[in-house]
Every structure is written in structure tokens, then in C-alpha cells.
Amino acid sequence: MSRRRHSDENDGGQAHKRRRTSEPIEIEDRLESLICRVGEKSTSSLESNLEGLAGVLEADLPNYKNKILRILCAVARLLPEKLTVYTTLVGLLNARNYNFGGEFVEAMIRQLKETLKNNLYNEAVYLVRFLSDLVNCHVIAAPSMVAMFENFVSVTQEEDVPQVRSDWFVYVVLSCLPWVGKELYEKKDVEMDRLLSQIEGYLKRRVKTHVQMLQVWTAEKPHPQEEYLDCLWAQIQKLKKDRWQERHILRPYIAFDSVLCEALQHNLPPFTPPGHMPDAQYPMPRVVFRMFDYTDAPEGPVMPGSHSVERFVIEENLHCIIKTHWKERKTCAAQLLSYPGKNKIPLNYHIVEVIFGELFQLPTPPHIDVLYTTLLIELCKLQPGSLPQVLAQATEMLYMRLDTMNTTCIDRLINWFSHHLSNFQFRWSWDDWADCLTVDLEKPKPKFVKEVLEKSMRLSYHQRIVDIVPPTFSVLIPAEPIFIYKYLDETASTLPGYQLSITLGNAIKNRATNEEILTILKEVPNPNQEDDDDEGESFNPLKIDVFLQTLLHLAAKSFSHSFSALAKFHEILKTLADSDEGKLHTLKVIYEVWRNHPQMIAVLVDKMIRTQIVDCAAVANWLFSQDMAHEFTRLYIWEILHSTIRKMNKHVQKIQKELEEAKDKLEKQQLKRRDSGDDEDMDKNSEDEDGQLEEQIERLQEKVESAQSEQKNLFLVIFQRFIMLLTEHLVRCETGSVDISTPWYKNCVDRLQQIFLMHHVTIQQYMGTLENLLFTAELDHHILAVYQQFCALQL
């Protein structure tokens, strides 16, 4: 059976024991596997594998054409890093079967329309790039590709559309040119020149308010943080100057030129870009992350320049590899390290740069943060002689540039570095960073080291941290995470709650009931009141203080002990914290006792929100309160705030989902009844069912509205507090003629930005309220600028 023999050859000469029965499903799986794996490591050359596979597929066309079409369309969309391998394959098939080539092009156009309709803009880019490379394979006629590009660029003439829309269409055209620029210029240079000139005009008039918010560093040196379209434009300009000579992209079709140029080409059907829809979600603008240049790789191949098209292609492909293999870290690392053409570039540097670029991407990384830590560890395992050094060099460089790094990115760096160190016995040349000890400890470098040591301690223990740093660093070592008990011993006997703390402590240890505890608590005098309030219902800070301090002291041993305590006395805590002041004071006490153990504070606050002892707004108010001002620049404060906002968001989403499900259920029920029988036969049961569901829907509707109101209020509280703090600072500096740019100020502005960036999806809903109530024209322009930059992200 000739088909079997070919496929065995494609497997690199391995003979497989195969079942004799050829079930269609098996063959389809086999086709999928063959197509997906072509281009991977093999004992045969890529060309011979492609030739073989083309033969196999051609033979299978009569029976499996649709399946093959669908698989090829899928790899075009999902394996962009292997673009040219698959365009060559399609080219070979087209040369053997003109009709198939035509059907494939049609299928791709259909797929392109679908992806655009479904807001899958990143995938749509890969599809257009695939089509453009098909010009190189003589499948698509160059003039028809140029026509499609012209239609895309004409979007820049549309009025009243978001800038991100026209941005995307320009980006698609430019990003195809590394692959197909040469061919298109050879065939249609006048049209292409016109196209590029239109693009140039558009790029000049684009608004770029958003750029500052997305930059990882504020400094232009050593590498400018360029807006992505500006960078790509510069790269294409340079490519054009080099007469479209591009030598990096792997082009298997060149080897088949004699076969392919005999093929008949297809014309792309005229493609009108779909019009702008209000619910369209175009990709957000980005800033190109650069941390290395040719001076950084000491020996070996030279790193392509920042405006070289090679740089663009390499970065694109590495990002695509991560996107394809993110779930399989070993495969991902292996694929990154076996990048074709790796011998001509300092691959390790590119990989490290791309990974950090993703980790630091604003607003958010494409993947979960911890993925990058683990991926770098896998890469170190595979290249133990070279990658760790590049990583160390990168870490050193990032440390050197902390002064101008965005605070959100510094957060991520802290988390990455501490987690990374914990996998390598915390070995680091701390002495190299002794310079951080010579400056004000609030400056970025010592602050960074302090936070890294704190996180490292969380992953290990206090003594470990003492052991790993030189003695000179002791000022940066975190405090030992021990409980601070106000009523610890007789020295506290003069404090008003001392006696009661002992009584209470004994009662709890002897498993007293809630009623017994409450009776004891009734004895606590209220420092806020003149006369005795027999009910003891109103806010009594002393009561909260005594009970909470005593309880948490008894439960200080571990998280579990503390959680048990909160659960056991949930009713009492809820009663004590019943008012806004009560909630605030509860949080105050938690801070007082656990101020050496920020991790414990975070988990207790989390538990208290989830068990509704405190609410989200109380936490926000507490974090912004005067009492916490001295902690304001510490990382754990912001982790608590963002965790609080996320809980609020998840809560709203959960109820919205319940509402949707109830509505769906009702609709299904009503449809079923309508379809099945007469209205007259409708019995009372189904009427009741409907009624119950409608009641439930109404209740859920109210719940959703209430939750959304709480959510909006939370953001209003947070933004209001930021505005107050920043305005105070700006006014104070102005009257004192002092420079506003203190470390505190930079931190505060970055934190305000961070709220917008990390929760942009939710905040979009409340833009109207924010603009009317808070971010008005009267606001200081420094503060307003943050808001305006945020708005510019989706314009």
C-alpha cells in the first residue's frame, strides 16, 4: 500500500506496527498527526518530508478532501510559527491539484471572515500572513493580494471609528511585508508605494496618548520603549531601503521553485473589511519590549538591530511558540531552543527578552505569571551551560534600571526573582547590589531588595534569609513574623482591657459558648460613651480590641488555627464589626497584632471578606487611612487591595451567571411547553414552575443590581482616595516650591495607573460615572493625565 510506505518515510524511517484495519477515524487522526508534525525534527530533510506529505495528501484528496482542508486551515491559524512550512505544503498541493488550491483559498477567506466576526484579531493576523505567503508559493496572484491590502488600508479613511480599529488593519498589512514585500514590490511597485505612503500619513496623525501608560521604563535610554506600530514602520522602512532583502525567514518553497512556478495561481476574491460594530474588541496597543542589543551578547552571533525586520520576525515567532505550547512547559522550552536559524542569532538572549517582555507586558501578561518562572527554569535545565548566565545578566540589567521602571513591572520582577531564587537555594551575589544600601531606603533599588527578601522569607523562613545575605544587608531583612500581643503580661496591667483579656482568654480555652463570651464582653466599657449603654450595641473599639487580640493570640500558631478561630466566633465578630467604624477598627486591630506578618494580614482580610465580617469598601478605606500611610508603598498593601477588587468582581460575575442560567432555564421551559402541546392543556404545575422561576429571576436581578452598585462604589472609594492623596501632595509641593517627583509620588501615580490597567474590563462599565464625578476638568492635570491615558487605550 503506497500510502503507508510514504507515511512511514515521513516518520523519519520508523517502522510502526499498525492495525491492518483502516477506519476513517484512524485515517483522519493520522492525517492530523502527519500534518501537525511535519517540519519537526526528522532524519529526512524538510524538503523530502514536505514532498512525501504532499504525495500522501494528494492521494487522500478524493476521500478526505474536506478533512484535509479543515486541518490545513487550522494549522494556518494555530501554528503561525510554522507558517512557511505549511504555505509550501499548500503550494505543492496546488501545483498538483489546481481545484484544491482554489478551494483552500476560499476556505481561508471564510475562516478569516469568521475570526473577524468573533473578535479573534490576533488569529486573523496569522491568516492574512498565511495568504500573503501563498503569493510566494504561486498559489495566490500578487495583484489580488495587493488589492486586499489596499482595502485594508482604506479603513484609515473611515471616520468616527476607534483608532484601534484602523491600527489593526495597518498592522496586518505591515506585518505581512517581511514575508511577501519583495514579491509584491516586484509585481506592483507603484501600488505598493502608494499603500505605504497612505500608511505613513495615517501613522503621522495617530494619537499616542496611551504610550506612556504601557511603557515598562520611563527612560528612553538605553533602549526606547517604542509604540508597536512605530517600531514596525521603522522596520519596514529599513527593509524597503534594503530592497526587501530578507534572509532570516525559513523559506522551504525556494527549493521547490521549479515545481511551483509551473502552477496556476488563484485570485483572491475582493475582500471588504467588515464594518465597525459597537461590540467589537480590537486588540489593545502595545509597546515593544527591548532590553538587549548587539553590545550585550559578548561572543557568538550578533543580535539583529532594533529596527531590523529580522528582530520583528524572531520575536513574532518566539511569542507564537509560547502561545502554542504554553500548557506543556518542557515542549515549550524545547521548541524555543530549537528555533530554526538559531545558529545565526544569540537565541538565548532573544528568548530571555521575549519572556520578560511577556512577563512585564502592560496591562497584563498574555499568560499567568508563574508560567514564566517555570518556563525559565525548564530552559535553564536544558541549557545549563549558557542560559543561567544570560538570565543573571538580565537580572542585573533589570536591577540597574529599577529607578525608571513601572511599579507594576517591579512587582512582577519581585515575585519572579524571589520564586526563581527559591528554586536555586537562594544563591545570588548580593554584594554586587551593595550600592542599594547607600541611598534612601524608599528608593526603588533598596525597596526592591527588601521586597524580594520578604517574599523569599515567605517561601522559606526568617533565619534562612538572615543566612543568605551579607551582614551589611541586615537593614533590608524583613521582621520576624511574630504576633504582637498588647495584653501579653503584667506590664500591660494598666491597660483598660487587660483584666478582661485574661478572663476572655480562659473562657475561650475552656470552650465557652458564644453566650458566655458575649456576657463577658458586656463588661467592656465603651471609651466612646459617657454613660453605660446596657445594650452594648453601638461601636465599641475596646471590645473589638480585647476580643480580637485575645482570640488571634490564642490562634496565632498557623493560618489554619486562625481560620478556625474566625469560623468559631463568626457570629460575635460579625456583631462587633457591625458598623462601618466597627469594620475599620477590626482591620486596624488585625494590623496591630500582625504587622510583622503581612502574609497573615492578607489571608485574614481575605477570610473576613469571604465570611462577610468586613466588606470590600471597608478594606479599601482602611488601606487608604492615615494609620496605614506609612505602609502605603509596601507591596503587600497593593496585593490586598487588588485581591479585594478581584473578589468583588468575581462576586458580581457569579450572580450574573446565576441570573443568566435562570433566564435560560425559563426560556427553555417556555419553549418546551409551546412546542409540545396546547395552551389549554397547560396544567397548574407548569404555571407554578414558571412563576417560581420568574420570582427567582426577579430576586437575582435585584441581587445583581445591588452587587454592581457595591462594585461601583468600591471603585469610587478607591479613586476618590487616590485623588485626595495626590492632590494633597501636589498642593503641598507647590506651596513649598518642592519638586513633586518624590519616590512616594511616583509610587502613588503608578498605583493609580495599576488600578486602571489591572481592572480595565470592569472599569469600562463605569466610565461615565468616573468622568462625571471624579475625573473632571477641574482636577490637577497630573492626575487627569492618568485617566486620559487610560481612555486612550481603547479609542
Partner 1 sequence: MSAKLSALHSDSYVEVSQYRDQHFKGNRKEQEKLLNQSNTLYVGNLSFYTTEEQVHELFSKSGDVKRIIIGLDKVKKTACGFCFVEYYARGDAEHAMRFINGTRLDDRIIRTDWDAGFKEGRQYGRGKSGGQVRDEYRQDYDPARGGYGKLAQQHPPVESRNTY
Residue 570 touches partner 1, criterion: CB under 8 A:
no
Q: Sign of the C-alpha dihedral, residues 338, 343, 345, 348? A: positive
Closest CB 375 distance from partner 1, rounded Å = 8
**Measured distance CA(28)–CA(779) in Å, rounded:** 64
Chain centroid to CA 409: 12
CB of 419 or CB of 585, closer to partner 1: 419
CB of 71 or CB of 214, closer to partner 1: 71
Residue 419 touches partner 1, criterion: CB under 8 A:
yes
CB of 321 or CB of 786, closer to partner 1: 321
Residue 364 neighbours by CB distance under 10 Å: 13
Closest CB 559 distance from partner 1, rounded Å = 5
CB of 463 or CB of 519, closer to partner 1: 463
Return the residues of window 599-618 that contact partner 1 according to CB under 8 A.
599-600, 603, 606
Out of 425, 472, 741, 764, the only residue in the binding site for partner 1 (CB under 8 A) is 425
**Measured distance CA(495)–CA(497) in Å, rounded:** 6
Closest CB 365 distance from partner 1, rounded Å = 13
Closest CB 264 distance from partner 1, rounded Å = 25
Closest CB 399 distance from partner 1, rounded Å = 22
Out of 376, 377, 409, 617, the only residue in the binding site for partner 1 (CB under 8 A) is 377
| CA angle, residues 352, 405, 361, in degrees to nearest 5 | 50
Residue 649 touches partner 1, criterion: CB under 8 A:
no
CB of 100 or CB of 292, closer to partner 1: 100
Residue 564 touches partner 1, criterion: CB under 8 A:
no
Residue 779 Ramachandran class (φ > 0 left, ψ -120 to 50 alpha, else beta):
beta
Closest CB 197 distance from partner 1, rounded Å = 36
Closest CB 341 distance from partner 1, rounded Å = 23
Amino acid letter, 184: L
Residues 572 and 518: beta-carbon distance below 8 Å: yes
Closest CB 261 distance from partner 1, rounded Å = 29
Residue with the three cell numbers 483608532: 163
List CB contacts of 153: < 8 A, sequence separation 6 or more. Answer: 169, 170, 173, 195, 198, 199, 202
Residue 364 touches partner 1, criterion: CB under 8 A:
no
CB of 329 or CB of 595, closer to partner 1: 329
Closest CB 605 distance from partner 1, rounded Å = 13
CB of 195 or CB of 477, closer to partner 1: 477
Out of 2, 157, 494, 560, the only residue in the binding site for partner 1 (CB under 8 A) is 560
List CB contacts of 427: < 8 A, sequence separation 6 or more. Answer: 421, 468
Residue 32 touches partner 1, criterion: CB under 8 A:
yes
CB of 511 or CB of 557, closer to partner 1: 557
Out of 371, 449, 655, 662, the only residue in the binding site for partner 1 (CB under 8 A) is 371
Out of 119, 209, 374, 389, the only residue in the binding site for partner 1 (CB under 8 A) is 374
Strand partners, 227: 287
Residue 713 touches partner 1, criterion: CB under 8 A:
no
**Measured distance CA(57)–CA(680) in Å, rounded:** 60
**Measured distance CA(174)–CA(180) in Å, rounded:** 10
Closest CB 114 distance from partner 1, rounded Å = 5
Closest CB 10 distance from partner 1, rounded Å = 14
SS3 of residue 189 by DSSP: helix
Question: Of the candidates 121, 49, 40, 135, which has an alpha carbon nearest to the alpha carbon of residue 87?
Answer: 135
CB of 29 or CB of 186, closer to partner 1: 29
Residue 563 touches partner 1, criterion: CB under 8 A:
yes
CB of 1 or CB of 25, closer to partner 1: 25
Q: What is the DSSP letter of 770?
A: I
**Measured distance CA(196)–CA(184) in Å, rounded:** 12
Residue 793 neighbours by CB distance under 10 Å: 19
Cell of 562: 486562625
User: b/e per residue, 339-360, with b = 16+ CB within 10 A?
Assistant: bbbbeebbbbbbbbbbbbbbbb
- In DSSP notation, 272-313 reads PPPPP-TT--PPPP-B------TTT--SSSPPPPTTSHHHHH
Closest CB 390 distance from partner 1, rounded Å = 20
Phi, psi of 51 (to 5 degrees): -60, -50
Out of 3, 65, 67, 307, the only residue in the binding site for partner 1 (CB under 8 A) is 67
Instruction: Write the interaction track for partner 1 spanning residues 449-488; mark x where CB under 8 A is met and - where it is not.
Output: ------x--xxxx---------------------------
Closest CB 619 distance from partner 1, rounded Å = 15
Residue 369 touches partner 1, criterion: CB under 8 A:
yes
On the CB side of 540, CA atoms within 13 Å amount to 27
Closest CB 121 distance from partner 1, rounded Å = 16
Return the residues of window 318-347 that contact partner 1 according to CB under 8 A.
324, 327-329, 331
Phi, psi of 149 (to 5 degrees): -60, -40
CB of 64 or CB of 766, closer to partner 1: 64
- Cβ-based burial of 258 (10 A; exposed 0-12, middle 13-18, buried ≥19): exposed
CB of 119 or CB of 374, closer to partner 1: 374
Residue 37 touches partner 1, criterion: CB under 8 A:
yes
CB of 371 or CB of 618, closer to partner 1: 371
**Binding segment (CB under 8 A) for partner 1, from list 189-197, 420-428, 616-624, 669-677:** 420-428
End-to-end Cα spacing for the chain: 60
Residues 297 and 346: beta-carbon distance below 8 Å: yes
Closest CB 423 distance from partner 1, rounded Å = 5
Return the residues of window 68-127 that contact partner 1 according to CB under 8 A.
70-71, 73-75, 77-79, 110-111, 114
Instruction: Please state the length of the chain.
Output: 795
Residue 244 Ramachandran class (φ > 0 left, ψ -120 to 50 alpha, else beta):
left
Q: Sign of the C-alpha dihedral, residues 303, 366, 713, 575? A: negative
CB of 642 or CB of 760, closer to partner 1: 642
Residue 624 neighbours by CB distance under 10 Å: 20
Question: Of the candidates 634, 575, 632, 565, which has an alpha carbon nearest to the alpha carbon of residue 604?
Answer: 565
Out of 44, 151, 389, 422, the only residue in the binding site for partner 1 (CB under 8 A) is 422
CB of 232 or CB of 707, closer to partner 1: 707
Total binding residues for partner 1 by CB under 8 A?
48
Residue 294 touches partner 1, criterion: CB under 8 A:
no
Residue 29 touches partner 1, criterion: CB under 8 A:
yes
- Cβ-based burial of 32 (10 A; exposed 0-12, middle 13-18, buried ≥19): middle
Closest CB 71 distance from partner 1, rounded Å = 5
Residues 394 and 352: beta-carbon distance below 8 Å: yes
Question: Of the candidates 121, 65, 131, 49, which has an alpha carbon nearest to the alpha carbon of residue 97?
Answer: 65
List CB contacts of 277: < 8 A, sequence separation 6 or more. Answer: none
CB of 455 or CB of 583, closer to partner 1: 455
SS3 of residue 227 by DSSP: strand
**Binding segment (CB under 8 A) for partner 1, from list 16-24, 65-73, 532-540, 625-633:** 65-73
CB of 232 or CB of 452, closer to partner 1: 452
CB of 35 or CB of 174, closer to partner 1: 35
Question: Residues interacting with partner 1, by CB under 8 A?
Answer: 29, 32-33, 36-37, 67, 70-71, 73-75, 77-79, 110-111, 114, 324, 327-329, 331, 368-371, 373-374, 377, 415, 419, 422-423, 425, 455, 458-461, 558-560, 563, 599-600, 603, 606, 643
